[in-house]
Amino acid sequence: MSTVKSILFKDPASTESARTILRVVILLTIAAAAVASRLFSVIRFESIIHEFDPWFNFRASKYLVKNGFFDFWNWFDDRTWYPLGRVTGGTLYPGLMVTSGAIWHALRMISLPVDIRNICVLLAPGFSGLTAFATYLFTKEMKDSGAGLLAAAFMGIAPGYISRSVAGSYDNEAIAIFLLMFTFYLWIKAAKLGSAMWGGLCALFYFYMVSAWGGYVFITNLIPLHVFVLILMGRYSGRIYVAYSSWYALGTLASMQVPFVGFLPVRTSEHMAALGIFGLIQLVAFVDFLRGQVPSKQFNTLLRALVILITVVAFTGLVTLTVTGVIAPWSGRFYSLWDTGYAKIHIPIIASVSEHQPTAWPSFFFDLNFLIWLFPAGVYLCFRQLRDEHVFIIVYSVMASYFAGVMVRLMLTLTPIVCVAAAIAVSSIFDTYLEIDSPEEQEEDDSKKSKKEKVKDTTGGFLSSKAPFIGIYSVSSKVAVVAAFSVYLILFVLHCTWVTSNAYSSPSVVLASRMPDGSQHIIDDFREAYYWLRKNTPYDAKIMSWWDYGYQIGGMADRTTLVDNNTWNNTHIATVGKAMASSEEVSYDILRKHEVDYVLVIFGGLLGYSGDDINKFLWMVRIAEGVWPAEVQERKFFTSRGEYKIDAEATDTMKNSLMYKMSYYKYPSLFPPGQAQDRVRGARLPSEGPVLHTLDEAFTSENWIVRIYKVKDLDEFGRDHFAVSAFEGGKKKGKKGGLAGRAGGKRGRRVVRI
Amino acid sequence: MARKNAGNAAARGTTPEPSAVRPTTPNTSVEPAPKAATTTTTSSSPSTSTVTLSANSSPLAVAGAIWGKYQKDTPQRTKLIDVFMGFLVVVGAVQFVYCVLAGNYPFNAFLAGFAATVGQFVLTASLRIQTNPANKTEFSSVSPERAFADFVFGSLTLHFFCVNFIN
C-alpha cells in the first residue's frame, strides 16, 4: 500500500507542474463536454435560431454586421411596432450582438469568413465552456482547485443552465451567466486582496454584464448585500472598503454608458441599495479612521453624536427625494418578485409570460438533479469556515433560492451557486473518504485529548470548526461512501444528458414528432408560413399577430409587425388583444386604422399543438381588459358555469371573436359532418364553422398550425364588408360590390389608438 | 475586531495618549485650542471641563483632540493625500450645490463631473488605506508601489468613462 502511495502521490510540491497540466487538460475536457452536450439540436435538426427572442437578437446582429457599429447604435426600426417604430439602438442590451459581431470580424481578419448565423447559433455553447472556467476560478477561491474542477464539471452539464444555452438559443443569457460568474469571481478576488485593480476589473466586467443582460440588477444588489452583511457581522476592513468603493464608483459610472440603462442607477429604487451601502461604507471607514485616533470612551461619545446626525440627515434626504419624485418607485417586475400574485392583478402582460411564472418544485430536481440536495450541505460547510467569501456564498444562495422559487426564469441564477455549493460538499466528502491511509489508533487518543483541551479554551466561533480532523478508519466505509457518490455522479451525467436531449434541445420553430412506426417526422409549419409571407406579400405589408410571434415574423418573414416580444408598449399590445377578442365589426375598424394587411394566427387543433393562440387567448382578453374594461370582459368568454369552452356551449362573445373565427374557419370541413374535433382541447366542434366577412383566408400551412388571413379592402363604394353583408341579408355573403351606402358615423366612434 | 484594535495600538505604540486616562484629554484639547476656539463657540470649553468630571467629554472637545493628534502623527505624504481628498470634497460639493441651484439640465455632464470627484475620492481613500503602515497586516499582498499602480489603473478607467459620458 505504502509503495503504491509513494508512486502515485508524491510530495505535492514536486508534482505541482504535473498537477497544473492535469488541471488544464481536465478543464479543456469539461469545456468540450459542455459544448458537445449543447449540440443535440444542431445534430437533430439543423443550425437554426431557436424560439422567439433569439430571432430578434439574430436580426439585430445581422444589422450590426451589415451596417456597422454606429448605425446600429442609432438604429431606428420602423418595421416593428407599426406605426410607432422602435428606437432599437437605445432599447436593447447590445452586449450580445457586439460580442458576436466582434467574433465575426475577428474570424474574418484571420481569413475565416464564417456566416453570422453560425456564430450566433454556436455562441451560447462556446460561452458555456467559459462559464465552466469562471466557475472553476470562483470555487477555487472558496475551497481548492479540486472543488473548482467539480464545480466546473457540474456547471458545464447542469440542465438548469443548459436550458438557456443550447446551440441556437441565441439569447442574452447565453453570455450573461459567464459574465455573472466572472464578475463574482473578480469581486471575491478584490475583497480578498483589497486591491483596487481587481475592483476595477470587476467594474469592467460588471459593465460588460450591464450591456448584456437586464439581470445585472442581481449583481447590483448582491454585492452590496454581501458588504452589508459583513459590516453587520463586525467584519469591516480596509480591504472591503477598497474593493467595494472602487467597484461601485467605476461600475456605476460605466453602467450608465449603456443607453438603455442611462440614468437608472441614480434614479430607481432597484439601484438605491448599492448607493446606500456606498454611503454607509464611507461613513464606516471614516468612523474606523476616527477610532484609530481617540481612546474608546471618547469614541463612544463621538459615535453617538455622529449616528444621530447621520440618521436625521439620511432620513430627511430620503423622504424629500421620494416626495419630490427624484427617485422612481420600484417597477412592476420587482413587485412581482415579492408578491407573486401582484403581476396577475396589476400587470397581466408580465404574468402572461410563461417564464415569469412561479417554479413548480419538481423542476428543481429536474434541472439540478442530485445537486439540489447537496446544496444545503455545501452551504453548511461554508458556515463552518465562514471567511468573508463564504459569507458571499451564503448570501447568494439565500437570495437566489428565493428568486428561483418565484420565477422559473431565475432558476438560471440559482444554478451556478448550487453547482458551487454542491462541488464544495462533494469535494469535502472525497477529501475525507479518499485518503488511503487510515489513522493510527494512538493518534486517536491524542486527538481526542487535544480536542477536549481545545473545546475548553474555545472563546468564539463554531465548535465544529475547532475539532481536529481525524480521518476514517475502516476501509469498507470508505469504499461504500466513495462508491455511492460515484454512482450518484454517473446518474447525474445520465440525467443531464437525458434532460438536455429530451427537454431542452427543441428549437420550437421546427417541431419533431414520432410516426406510428417510430421514425421521426419533422413538422415545419412555421417556416413554411413565414416563407410564404416573405415570397407572396409586398415588402411593406403589415402583419398583425399576437406579440409572441412578432420577432419570428420580423426575423424569418422580414415583414412589418404591430407588436413583438419586446413588450414595451402595453397599450399597443392591448389594442391587438382587443382586435382579436372583439367581434368582426369592431376588429375591422382597428385593423383598418392600423393599416393591417395580414393577420396571422397559430392554431394547434388539428395536430394537438398546445401552445396555440386559443390557449393564449385568455391573456389577450385580460390584457385588453386592462386597458378597455368596458369593451372587453373576461367573464363573457366563460360559460355560465365558468368554463372556458370552444365547442357548441361556447358563449356568443367567444364565438364572435375574431380569434375564434380565424382559428376554426373552415375547420369542420376537414371532417365528416358532425365529427369535427379539436385535439388540443379535446372538444367536439359544431358542424358548421364560423363565417368571416372582413377577412380572406390567404394561407394555411400543412398541419394547419399557422393560418394567415388577408384583410379585405373596402369595396368600391367605401363600405366595410360587415355593412355590405348585413345589407344583403346573407344572400351574397362576403361578396365584393354591394350597393348600399356605408353607415358613415362608425369610423369615428371608437377611440382605438392611444 | 480585536485583532484590528491590537494592530492599531501597536502602530501607535510611541504615542502616550491611549494609556493615560483622564487628565490627558484637557491637555490635548488645549493644544489645538487657538484653532478650535476660532471655529467652535466659547461655550464648549466650560462644558468640557464639567463633563470631564463625569468621565465624558463633549463631541466637540473630542473632535478637537482628534485634530491635534492628527496634526502631530500623520506623515507629510499622507497629509498631502488628505489635502487632495479635501479638495475633491469641495469640488464635489460645489458641483452639487450648482446642480441644486441652477438645475441639472445636462444631467449626464453633471453626473460625469460628480462621479469623477466621488470616484477619485474613493480611489484616493483606497490608496491612503492601502499605504497606511497600520494596515500592513490586512493588505499583505498589496505593496505601496502596487497600491499606487492600482490607483493609476483605477483613475485611468474612471476618467475614460467620465470623458465618454460628459459628451
Average pLDDT of the residues in A529-547: 88
**Number of Cβ within a 10 Å radius of residue B99:** 16
Residues facing A561 on adjacent strands: A543
The answer to which of A351-355, A455-459, A675-679, A698-702 has the lowest mean pLDDT is: A455-459
pLDDT tens, B52-76?
434 456 777 777 877 888 888 788 8
Q: What is the pLDDT of residue B140?
A: 79
Pair (A668, A546) in one structural domain: yes
Return the higher-pLDDT residue of A727 and A683: A683
Which of B52, B62, B77 shows the shortest CA–CA distance to B29? B62
Quick one: closest CA in A to B165, which residue? Answer: A257
The answer to which of A132-136, A244-248, A611-615 has the lowest mean pLDDT is: A611-615
Is the Cβ–Cβ distance between A138 and A185 less than 8 Å? yes
Grid cell of A98 as nine digits: 457586439
**Number of Cβ within a 10 Å radius of residue B94:** 12
Domain-ending residue, one of A235, A267, A283 = A283
- A-B contacts at Cβ under 8 angstroms: 125
**CA angle (A707 as vertex; A556, A701 as ends), nearest 5:** 75
| % residues pLDDT > 90 (chain A) | 22
Q: What is the pLDDT of residue B152?
A: 93
Average pLDDT of the residues in A27-42: 91
Pair (A575, A696) in one structural domain: yes
Determine the distance from the C-alpha atom of residue B85 to the mean position of all C-alpha atoms in its chain, rounded to a whole number: 8
Q: What is the pLDDT of residue A343?
A: 60
Q: Kindly report the backbone phi and psi dihedral angles of residue A388, in degrees, each rounded to the nearest multiple of 5, phi listed first.
A: -55, -40
Residue A42 lies in a domain: no
Q: What is the pLDDT of residue A313?
A: 84
Taking CB atoms and an 8 Å cutoff, what residues of chain A touch B143? none
Tracing cell 470627484 back to the chain, one arrives at B117
Cβ of residue A250 closer than 8 Å to a chain B Cβ: yes
- What span, in angstroms and rounded, lies between the C-alpha atoms of A198 and A220? 17
For residue A747, is pLDDT > 60?
no
* All structural domains of chain B with their residue ranges: 2-71, 74-166
Q: What is the pLDDT of residue A653?
A: 83
- The distance of B50 to chain A (nearest Cα, Å) reads 15
pLDDT tens, A617-649?
888 888 888 888 888 888 888 888 888 887 877
Cβ of residue A246 closer than 8 Å to a chain B Cβ: yes
Q: Is A391 left (phi over 0), alpha (psi -120 to 50) or beta?
A: alpha
Domain-ending residue, one of A256, A283, A310 = A283
Query: A749: pLDDT confidence band, cut at 50, 70 and 90?
Result: very low
For residue B90, is pLDDT > 90?
yes
Domain-ending residue, one of A258, A283, A308 = A283
Which of B76, B47, B77 shows the shortest CA–CA distance to B64? B47
Query: A420: pLDDT confidence band, cut at 50, 70 and 90?
Result: very high
A289, A291, A292, A297 alpha-carbon torsion, rounded to 10°: 160
Taking CB atoms and an 8 Å cutoff, what residues of chain B touch A294? 62, 65-66, 69
Which of A450, A498, A491, A441 shows the shortest CA–CA distance to A471? A441
Is the Cβ–Cβ distance between A72 and A148 less than 8 Å? no
Which positions ≥6 away from B142 have C-beta within 8 Å? A193, A194, A195, B130, B150
Q: What is the pLDDT of residue A181?
A: 93
Quick one: closest CA in B to A242, which residue? Answer: B126
Residue A154 lies in a domain: no
- The distance of A279 to chain B (nearest Cα, Å) reads 11
- What span, in angstroms and rounded, lies between the C-alpha atoms of A360 and A411? 11
For residue A256, is pLDDT > 80?
yes
For residue A184, is pLDDT > 90?
yes
Query: Is the CA virtual torsion A670, A675, A678, A679 positive or negative?
Result: negative
**Number of Cβ within a 10 Å radius of residue B39:** 12
Pair (A553, A614) in one structural domain: yes
Is the Cβ–Cβ distance between A78 and A85 less than 8 Å? yes
Residue type present at position A726: A
Cα distances (Å, whole numbers) of residue A714 to A82, A726, A735: 21, 15, 11
**Number of Cβ within a 10 Å radius of residue A733:** 13
Q: What is the pLDDT of residue A438?
A: 63
Return the higher-pLDDT residue of A458 and A717: A717
Query: Is the CA virtual torsion A626, A628, A633, A634 positive or negative?
Result: negative
- What span, in angstroms and rounded, lies between the C-alpha atoms of A456 and A607? 74
Q: What is the pLDDT of residue A581?
A: 86
Return the higher-pLDDT residue of A729 and A83: A83
Query: A208: pLDDT confidence band, cut at 50, 70 and 90?
Result: very high
pTM: 0.81
Taking CB atoms and an 8 Å cutoff, what residues of chain B touch A196? 123, 126-127, 130, 147, 150-151, 153-154
Which of B83, B2, B66 shows the shortest CA–CA distance to B29? B66
Is the Cβ–Cβ distance between B93 and A212 less than 8 Å? no
Residues facing A602 on adjacent strands: A706
Q: Do A196 and B127 touch (CB under 8 A)?
A: yes
Pair (A190, A268) in one structural domain: yes
Tallying the residues shown for chain A, one arrives at 754
Q: What is the pLDDT of residue B30?
A: 37
Query: B51: pLDDT confidence band, cut at 50, 70 and 90?
Result: very low
For residue A467, is pLDDT > 70?
no
Q: What is the pLDDT of residue B131?
A: 85
Is the Cβ–Cβ distance between A423 and A138 less than 8 Å? no
Pair (A562, A705) in one structural domain: yes
pLDDT tens, A332-345?
556 666 666 666 66
Query: A380: pLDDT confidence band, cut at 50, 70 and 90?
Result: very high
Q: What is the pLDDT of residue A312?
A: 82
pLDDT tens, A44-75?
888 888 888 888 899 999 999 998 888 888 88
Q: What is the pLDDT of residue B117?
A: 92
Q: Do B70 and A293 touch (CB under 8 A)?
A: yes
Q: ipTM of this predicted complex?
A: 0.76
For residue A719, is pLDDT > 90?
no
Average pLDDT of the residues in A19-35: 92
Q: Do B115 and A295 touch (CB under 8 A)?
A: no
Q: Do B154 and A237 touch (CB under 8 A)?
A: no
Q: Is A718 left (phi over 0), alpha (psi -120 to 50) or beta?
A: left
For residue A712, is pLDDT > 90?
no
Pair (A594, A536) in one structural domain: yes
Q: What is the pLDDT of residue A739?
A: 40
Q: Do B58 and A197 touch (CB under 8 A)?
A: no
Q: Which of B130, B158, B164 lies at the smallest CB-CB distance from A194?
A: B130
Average pLDDT of the residues in A364-379: 89
Residue A340 lies in a domain: no
Return the higher-pLDDT residue of A110 and A292: A110
Residues facing A657 on adjacent strands: A583
Return the higher-pLDDT residue of A56 and B35: A56
Average pLDDT of the residues in A150-162: 91
Residue A637 lies in a domain: yes
Q: Do B62 and A237 touch (CB under 8 A)?
A: no
Which of A483, A465, A488 shows the shortest CA–CA distance to A380? A465
Beta strands in chain B (DSSP E): none
Cβ of residue A190 closer than 8 Å to a chain B Cβ: no
The number of distinct structural domains making up chain A is 3
Is the Cβ–Cβ distance between A658 and A665 less than 8 Å? no
- CATH number of the CATH domain containing A537: 3.40.50.12610
Task: Supply the range of the domain harboring residue A688.
Answer: 524-712
The answer to which of A8-17, A270-279, A725-734, B106-115 has the lowest mean pLDDT is: A725-734
Which of A285, A314, A411 shows the shortest CA–CA distance to A358? A411
Pair (A702, A591) in one structural domain: yes
By CB atoms closer than 10 A (0-12, 13-18, 19+), residue A750 is middle
Which of A541, A543, A626 shows the shortest CA–CA distance to A581? A626
Pair (A551, A657) in one structural domain: yes
Q: What is the pLDDT of residue A657?
A: 86
pLDDT tens, A661-690?
888 888 888 888 777 888 888 888 887 778
Q: What is the pLDDT of residue B56?
A: 57
Residue A719 lies in a domain: no
- The distance of B16 to chain A (nearest Cα, Å) reads 11
Return residues 270-329 of A near B (CB < 8 Å): 282, 285, 290-295, 297-299, 301-302, 304-306
Average pLDDT of the residues in A20-35: 93
Grid cell of A319 as nine digits: 423622504
| % residues pLDDT > 70 (chain A) | 83
Pair (A481, A612) in one structural domain: no
Q: Is A544 helix (H, G, I), strand (E, B) or coil?
A: strand
Q: What is the pLDDT of residue A570?
A: 80
Taking CB atoms and an 8 Å cutoff, what residues of chain B touch A257? 161, 164-165
Pair (A451, A593) in one structural domain: no
Mean of all residue pLDDT scores within chain A: 81
For residue A279, is pLDDT > 90?
no
Q: What is the pLDDT of residue A277?
A: 87
